[in-house]
Structure 1
Amino acid sequence: MATYGYARVSTSDQDLTIQETALRAAGCQVVRSEKASGATRRGRRELEILMDFLQPDDTLMVTRIDRLARSMKDLQDIVHDLRARGVSLRATEQPIDTASAAGQAFLDMLGVFAQFETNLRRERQMEGIRAAKARGVYRGRPPSVDRAEIRRLHAGGLGAARIARQLGIGRSSVYRALELANAARHQNEAHHE
């Protein structure tokens, strides 16, 4: 019967110290920390390690529930997984303790609000992008793939897998670049007819 802490921040320039200190002060023998988005469980290696390690009657502790998950589905999946294994979830800054009905109800409400906040942030971001595009100042992320080089290598007889290996990119990126080149060529041919 042990208490394990999980601390998370979203970006590499954020500091984990406050969360780690609070978790240790709350009795966590082990604290796993990572800098990763909470929008999904994918790619969160420290959380995965903790989830694999937890045993019945253990407690997983976070400072706030949004440190664990920002998506209602992920939160529900994590809580379901913990409950099935006899592990409780607690938060140091919120009245969450899944061992009680009131704590579980509060957790469910917070999960809804975390999802709502994530959706609002995404909407604001998309509105900002649309406004920037309308003003002509948004160009998007610079291309990470040299499409001209892909076309040149393909014209030289190389297949997608070999081009991908040579350029250090995924095959899907090669296929996408070739599809874009073909679509542009067909559009250009149709325009000249």
Structure 2
Amino acid sequence: MARIGYARVSTSDQDAELQIAKLRAEGCEIVRAEKVSGASRAGRDELETIIQFLRSGDELVVTRLDRLGRDTRDVLNVVHECEQKGASVTVLDPNVSTRGEMGHLVITVLGMVAQMERRFIKERQREGIARAKREGVYKGGKRRIDRMQVQSLYSEGIGPSQIAIRLGCSRMQIYRILGKL
């Protein structure tokens, strides 16, 4: 039986070290961390690795429930997948575990709160962008992909999938760019 810690931060300018230290202090022999949004399960490879290797009696430990995700369904799916393997989920703040029935109720409620918080964040972001547009200071997001490079590679006969691999982005982004050029 192992205690496996999972730490997550959303952006590259955030640091998971505090979470990792707390998980190690709680006796987690293994701690996996990643920098990815908690809005969905997509791209959360470390979490998937943990779930894949859980054994009966193991325990997945997170510092706060929103580290597992900000969507109630995703959080409950993680809990369900862990339980299917005979493992439990423990949240350190507040201290709650799925080993008891009350833990399931608390985790469901906390998952709903995390989802609501995510909606509030998006709402504030939309309001901030709208205000910046009204004030004429909004310039939009930074372009992460050189559109001319995409066009150049495409004109050389390289397909969208290979361009995406070379530039480290999704194929859909390449299709969008090619459709706009």
What TM bracket, shorter-length normalisation? 0.7 to 0.9
Unpaired segments ≥5 residues, structure 1: 182-193
Q: Secondary structure at the match of 1:55?
A: coil
Matched residue, 2:30: 30
Matched residue, 1:161: 159
Matched residue, 2:131: 131
Q: Secondary structure at the match of 2:98?
A: coil
Structure 2 counterpart of 1:95, which letter? Answer: N
- Alignment CA distance shift 1:71-1:153 (3 Å): closer
Count of aligned pairs = 178
Aligned pair 1:81/2:84, yes or no?
Answer: no
Whole-angstrom distance in 2 between the partners of 1:32 and 1:153: 37
What are the Cα deviations for residues 89-144 of structure 1, in whole angstroms up to 9, with x where unaligned?
A: 11122131101111111111100000000000001101111121222221212443
- Alignment CA distance shift 1:36-1:177 (3 Å): closer
Residue 146 of structure 1: CA displacement?
2.8
Q: What TM-score results when the alignment is normalised by the length of structure 1?
A: 0.78
Asked if structure 2 preserves the Cα contact closer than 8 Å seen for 1:95 and 1:106, the reply is no
- Alignment CA distance shift 1:176-1:58 (3 Å): closer
Aligned pairs for 1:7-156 within 5 A: 7-143=7-143, 144-146=145-147, 150=151
Asked if structure 1 preserves the Cα contact closer than 8 Å seen for 2:3 and 2:61, the reply is yes
Which entry has the higher C-alpha Rg, 1 or 2? Answer: 1
Aligned residues: CA RMSD: 2.9
Structure 1 counterpart of 2:100, which letter? Answer: S
Unpaired segments ≥5 residues, structure 2: none
Residue 86 of structure 1: CA displacement?
1.2
Whole-angstrom distance in 1 between the partners of 2:24 and 2:149: 54
Q: What TM-score results when the alignment is normalised by the length of structure 2?
A: 0.83
Percent of residue pairs identical: 41
